[in-house]
Structure 1
Amino acid sequence: MRRLSSAAVCGARCGNLPAGARPNSGPGFCRRLSTEAASNPANTAQVYLSRSHDPLVNLAVEHHLLRTMAPTSTVLLLYVNKPCVVIGRNQNPWLETNLAQLASKGIDLVRRRSGGGTVFHDLGNVNYSVICPTTAFDRDRHAQMVVRALADLNRRARVNERHDIVLDDGGPPLKVSGSAYKVTRLRALHHGTCLLRSPNLELISGLLRSPAGPFIKARGVESVRSKVANLDLDNADFENAVVDQFRAMYGGRCHVHETFGTKDALGIDGVVNAYRETSVEGWLYGQTPQFTLSSHPTKDDARPRPLLPFDKASFSFSFPLPFLSLFQQDLRLRFVARHGKLEQFEIEAKGQHLDGSAILGLALHEVSNWFEPLVQARLDSQLAIDLGAWLDGVLGKRLHQTS
């Protein structure tokens, strides 16, 4: 794998650009992401504009910059992803998302390295990332930078007590930007979203509402859901305003480089390694903290549960009459999963406890049809059909067809 040499780096100083000018408009603008430039302590403030829409590539670039930039430097990275859902480092995909809906719409699911909640990205959503010395880190500092950029574009916004950016337009505050963080010994990362002209606002709620939610008790971080809105701004206008504010914060000495797409980013070893680490299902599902799914109230989770089977008024799919056997037989299911694999599996049917040891260690994300594992657990075949179809709906990656 080649490395880009420092000789290939052709930086333009932000301070020499006219206000509002696109950073890639001037002669000699660099179209490469350089490890040497990022790690050079002389480059105290840098801006990178990614033109890749691959969320895994952009997160890999972000991670590479966090690892390699000079500890005394500050970096701004701006990027736009294709439609995807991004969960936090310690979140549960079965609890945070509707996996079947994501699969049916061809929307990628990605786990990032930072904490925080689940967010939806698309081409109408610009993401900003600031990496700075840990000693200078403050959760609101660069969110306020974005607020000032929005003010330059005649949008009245503020940072709230949760460090989100909300729009004040006379009604209840509407969230337009959320943030997440990763702090290391020498460097700190703050990245956030900004909804500009997303065409998918009506989809977000359904994509981020898990049908398994009423049945899962989880460790880890759960998202806080908020009403969201678009700012009705062009991506380029937002990028320019943020770059201008970043430049103003750091005295105009800002070397600008551009990641000119996926090919350039994947020309750097560190980016490739970070990409490979997060592109496998073992990272996406295998990093899930321990959780318990139970069909009925338990000592540890006394919440009332919806009756089995689910009714059509509550979910986007319905079940034929044979599913009534679930309720009539008083079937009870409880399992514990850790790192996405079954550690305990208990079924009680017709007053008998069945042995689920045969399927312990099963990776949940690898199950395309729950009928077979349930038969291995010695469940009656008709009940295995009924319960398996329900588990396929709440945990699986496919939708049931409505009748």
Structure 2
Amino acid sequence: MITYKNKSIIAEYGKSMKLILVDIPNFEPEINFEIEKKILEIGKPDSFILRFWQNNPCVVLGKFQKEEYEVNLEYIKKKNIPVFKRFTGGGTVFHDQGNLNITFCKEKENILFSKYVLEEAKGITEIILKGIKEVYKNCEVKERNSIFLGEKKILGSAIAQKNNKFFYHASLLINSNLKELKKVINWEEKYPENTRSPIKSQRSKVTNLSFYTPLTIDMVKEKILKNFLQTLRIEENNVKKIYNNDFFEDKK
């Protein structure tokens, strides 16, 4: 568990900081990744941005990965499943509408938990963990800043620092098609030895949160949002909610 060394800083932020909540009901990956880029542009020093989003079936590679080593190319071609590459690191994930994606973005200098980027990211993961624990308690943050139920992974995360922003991605398995996931992701134990050291996905057994307790994605979003507001000490009247693309179109 992260010890909040900067409690006084978080308290001070809560008096003046705003939270921009982005929850646009769109499942098209191309649009969703464009929104991610826009988030980097709209962030301001007095605001944190929290986004919830879902995709239709697709594969998402980490910034430094190669699809030929991570994905069953023959299968995705047959099923017409698109592949995208995000600008954060980390491993390859399969998205569908049973998978909740979580984005958190802030100015890099607005330190919440630690000046060390991995500890800062762990602090964000633990906020998400607190929300998940309100619906199912037997989960914890383990290696590589992931959340596990026992030995099975339900959430992976990745980070980037870009445009003077700290940018955090997480992918939470709630009611995903795990059979399809296993067919899509290429579970090779080793990369070919002659590769130029691309970042390998770390393989873990996975499960869905919904296998353990009855819930909906909206319920999980509500719990996670509540814990972001509580931890960052942001009042409800300092939350700006964005449910359509108009805001982003105005920023062009």
What TM-score do you get using the length of structure 1 for normalisation?
0.51
Question: Is 2:185 the counterpart of 1:201?
Answer: no
Residue pair 2:139, 2:149 contacting (<8 A) in 1 also: yes
How far off is 1:160 after superposition?
0.8
One of 34, 48, 67 as aligned partner of 1:93: 67
AA partner of residue 125 (structure 1): N
> For the residues of structure 2 that align with 1:119 and 1:267, how far apart are their CA atoms?
29
Q: What per-residue deviation string (whole Å, max 9, x for no partner) do you get for residues 90-126 of structure 1?
A: 1111111112211211212111111111111111011
* Residue aligning to 1:112: 86
Percent identity of equivalent pairs: 25
Unmatched 5+ stretches in structure 2: 1-15, 112-116
Q: Structure 1 residues 111 and 49 mapped into 2: Cα distance closer, same or farther (>3 Å)?
A: same
What do the CA deviations read for 1:123-159 (whole angstroms, capped 9, x no partner)? 1011101112323251201110111001111332111
Determine the structure 1 residue equivalent to 2:152: 174
The answer to whether structure 1 residue 259 and structure 2 residue 243 are counterparts is yes
Task: Supply the distance in 1 between the matched residues of 2:126 and 2:102 (Cα, whole angstroms).
Answer: 13
Alpha carbons of 1:83 and 1:229: their partners in 2 closer, same or farther (altered >3 Å)?
same
Amino acid at match of 1:164: S
> Is 1:148 the counterpart of 2:130 in the alignment?
yes
What is the SS of the residue equivalent to 1:140? helix
Question: 2:106 — aligned with what?
Answer: 132
Q: Which moved more, 1:75-84 or 1:184-193?
A: 184-193
Relative to 1, partners in 2 of residues 1:132 and 1:210: Cα closer, same or farther, differing over 3 Å? same
Map residues 147-296 of structure 1 onto 2, 5 A cutoff. 147-168=129-150, 173-184=151-162, 186-198=164-176, 200-209=177-186, 214=192, 217-232=195-210, 233-253=215-235, 254-260=238-244, 264=246, 267-268=249-250, 270=252
Assess, with a 3 A threshold, how the Cα gap between structure 1 residues 57 and 43 changes in structure 2: closer, same or farther: farther
For residue 202 of structure 1, report the CA deviation from its aligned partner: 1.6
In 2: Cα distance, 1:102 partner to 1:236 partner: 29
The 1-side partners of 2:79 and 2:246 are apart by: 29
User: For 2:181 and 2:136, how far apart are their aligned partners in 1?
Assistant: 26
Segments of 5+ residues of structure 1 without an aligned counterpart are: 1-41, 271-403
Structure 1 residue 216 displacement after superposition: 5.8
- What is the CA deviation profile of residues 135-192 of structure 1, one whole-angstrom value per residue up to 9, with x for unaligned ones? 3251201110111001111332111121011113xxxx11000001111363100110
SS of match in other structure, 2:200 = coil
Give 3-state SS (helix, strand or coil) of 1:267's partner.
helix
CA contact (8 A) 2:17 2:46 kept: no
- Asked if 2 retains the 8 angstrom alpha-carbon contact of 1:147 and 1:165, the reply is yes
- How far off its partner does 1:210 sit? 7.0
TM-score (normalizing by structure 2):
0.80
Shift of 1:269: 5.9
Q: How far apart are residue 266 of structure 1 and its match?
A: 6.8
Out of 23, 33, 44, the residue aligned to residue 18 of structure 2 is 44
Query: Greater Rg, structure 1 or structure 2?
Result: 1
Using the alignment, how far apart are the partners of 2:74 and 2:28 within structure 1? 21
Q: Distance in 1 between matches of 2:46 and 2:196?
A: 39
Deviations, residues 266-290 of structure 1 (Å, cap 9, x unaligned): 73565xxxxxxxxxxxxxxxxxxxx
Evaluate the alpha carbon distance shift between residue 98 and residue 215 of structure 1 in structure 2; reply closer, same or farther with a 3 A threshold.
farther
* C-alpha distance after superposition, 1:288-335 (max 9, x if no partner): xxxxxxxxxxxxxxxxxxxxxxxxxxxxxxxxxxxxxxxxxxxxxxxx
For residue 202 of structure 2, what is the amino acid of its counterpart?
Answer: V
Whichever residue aligns with residue 86 of structure 2, its letter is R
Q: CA RMSD in A?
A: 2.3
